[in-house]
Amino acid sequence: MLKVMIIDDEPIIVEGLSRSVRWEAFDCYVVATANNGIEGRKLILEHKPDMLFLDISMPEMDGLTMIAGLKSQFPNLKVTILTGFRDFDYAKRALTLGVSRFLLKPSNMDEIEEAISFMATSIKEQQGFDSIYGSSDDSLNASTDASPNTGSNPCSVQEKEHESAASSFIVKNALHYIEEHYKDKVKLSDVAEKTYVSQWHLSKLLNKYTNQNFSEILNGIRVEKAKELLKNPALRIGDIALEVGFLDMAHFSRVFKKQVGISANEYRNTEIEVEE
C-alpha cells in the first residue's frame, strides 16, 4: 500500500483528512501526520511517504522552499497542496516545482479524492522503479537522487523537468542565504536546514550548478566584500577580515591571495594607485 503523510497546522484539517478519506479505496494509508514544517520534514525522512498533503501557509515555514527541497531531494514524491492561500502566481510556481495538485480550502471530498487518485495513478505508472527513496543508512544526511532509466516515458521527462526546477530553486535560495549571512559563522548545515534538504544533497547541488563547494562559495563572497572595503585606506586589514566573517587573519590572508593572486595589502595599494 502507498504511504501518505499530512502536514497542516490546523488539527481539524489533519483529523478530517485522516479519518474521512476512504484511503483503502486508493490502496493508501496515512503513515504519519504533523502540525508544522520542521516536524513534518523529520517525519518524511523517517517514514518515507509516497504522497504528501501539505499546507504551505503555516507559521515559520517557507512553503515553496520546502516543496522545492522535497521535490529536489525526492523527485518521485507526489505532493498535493491544501491551503487557504489564494495567490495564482504562488500556485503557478508550486506547480512548476512539481506539485501534483493545488487545492484551496475548503476543498470538497471529490477534489481531495481526485488528487489522491491522480497521485496514486502516477506512482503506479512508475512501477518497476526501486524505492523512490533508494537505500540509505543515514536518511538525515543522504539523498537518493539517482533516477532509474525510464526511456522516453513522458511522466519521467516531466518529473525530470520538475526536479531540475526544484533544484535550481534550492540553489538560488541557498546562494541568497549565504549572501545575506556571509558575516556570520554560517555552516552548510545552516543553509541545508533553511532550504529543507540534507547537507549531502545541498552540497551536490551547489557543485552541480556552481562548480564550487560550500566553502569556496562562502569565501568567494567574503573576498569580494573585502575587496570593496580595501578601497578605503582608513580601514585596517585585520578589521576588514573580521568584518567579512574571517575570525583568523592568517586564514583570510591565505584565502585572499589564493583567490585574487596577490595579498590584501598589495591589492589595496594597486587600487589606491589606480584611483590616484
* Each residue's pLDDT tens digit, 170-196: 899 999 999 999 999 999 999 988 888
pLDDT given at position 137 = 37
Calculate the average pLDDT of the chain. Answer: 84
Rounded to an integer, what distance in angstroms lies between the CA atom of residue 54 and that of residue 256?
A: 45
Confidence of residue 58 (pLDDT cuts 50, 70, 90): confident
Residue listed under C-alpha cell 475548503: 106
Dihedral sign, CA of 30, 35, 41, 45? Answer: negative
Dihedral sign, CA of 57, 63, 66, 68? Answer: positive
Pull the grid cell for residue 77: 514524491
Q: What angle do CA 221, 226, 230 make, to 5 degrees?
A: 155
pLDDT given at position 141 = 40
Rounded to an integer, what distance in angstroms lies between the CA atom of residue 152 and that of residue 155?
A: 9
pLDDT given at position 127 = 62
Domains within the chain, CATH numbers bracketed: 2-125 (3.40.50.2300), 216-275 (1.10.10.60)
